[in-house]
């Protein structure tokens, strides 16, 4: 159909069309989203490795399977996606469809994160979280600054670190 036909009609159509994919296609798309080796995680890994830090990846023995484990510093680093971990930033938007499902899903993720971080701290691990918004979007930080902040944190001995995007 021509663009002229659609002009002025989009608002009404979008209100009725919740998703452009059928259930199977949407399920396949969502299943393809990576839980490890994400682009933000690779950025952090490359930056720390270039500065001489050595780490283990996704240690299953630790609560929450941290993205990076630095035993020499008794520290773990999580690189969290803002959507999946419910970060209240400009990158996070509640889905308009199946709201109850998503609130339960994301709420469960947040609750599990808190429990895992508490267990790590109780076991004398230091915990850093790098949020996706620190590396992506309008509020992103300079990657070198994020790596600098992580380096300083690793050497200073503080128990926790949270790196977010600029608001």
pLDDT per position as a tens digit, 105-148 = 999 999 999 999 999 999 999 999 999 999 999 999 999 999 99
Alpha helical stretches, state H, the chain: 3-6, 10-16, 23-31, 39-50, 99-122, 143-156
The pTM is what? Answer: 0.80
The angle that helices 39-50 and 143-156 make with each other, rounded to 10 degrees, is 60
Highest mean pLDDT among 13-22, 23-32, 82-91: 82-91
Q: How do residues 19-60 score in pLDDT, each as one tens digit?
A: 677 877 766 766 656 567 789 999 999 999 999 999 999 999
Residue 44's nearest CA partner among 16, 10, 77 is 77
Give the bridge partners for 123, in sequence order: none
Alpha carbon distances (Å) from 59 to 36, 98, 131: 12, 33, 20
Tell me the C-alpha distance between 127 and 71, whole Å: 12
CATH architecture of 35-163: 3-Layer(aba) Sandwich (3.40)
Per-residue confidence (pLDDT) for residue 40, from 0 to 100: 94
Tell me the C-alpha distance between 40 and 84, whole Å: 14
pLDDT of residue 14 exceeding 90, the answer is no
């Amino acid at each position: 159909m021509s663009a002229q036909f659609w002009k002025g009609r989009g608002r009404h159509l979008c209100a009725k069309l919740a998703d452009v994919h059928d259930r199977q296609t949407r399920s396949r798309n969502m299943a393809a989203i990576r839980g490890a080796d994400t682009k933000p995680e690779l950025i952090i890994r490359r930056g720390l490795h270039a500065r001489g830090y050595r780490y283990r990846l996704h240690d299953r023995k630790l609560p929450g399977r941290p993205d990076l484990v630095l035993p020499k510093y008794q520290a773990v680093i999580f690189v969290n996606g803002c959507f999946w971990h419910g970060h209240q930033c400009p990158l996070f938007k509640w889905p308009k469809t199946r709201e109850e499902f998503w609130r339960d899903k994301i709420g469960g993720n947040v609750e599990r994160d808190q429990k895992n971080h508490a267990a790590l701290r109780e076991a004398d691990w230091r915990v850093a979280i790098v949020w996706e918004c620190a590396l992506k979007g309008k509020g992103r930080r300079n990657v070198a600054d994020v790596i600098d902040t992580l380096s300083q944190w690793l050497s200073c001995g503080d128990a926790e670190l949270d790196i977010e995007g600029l608001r």
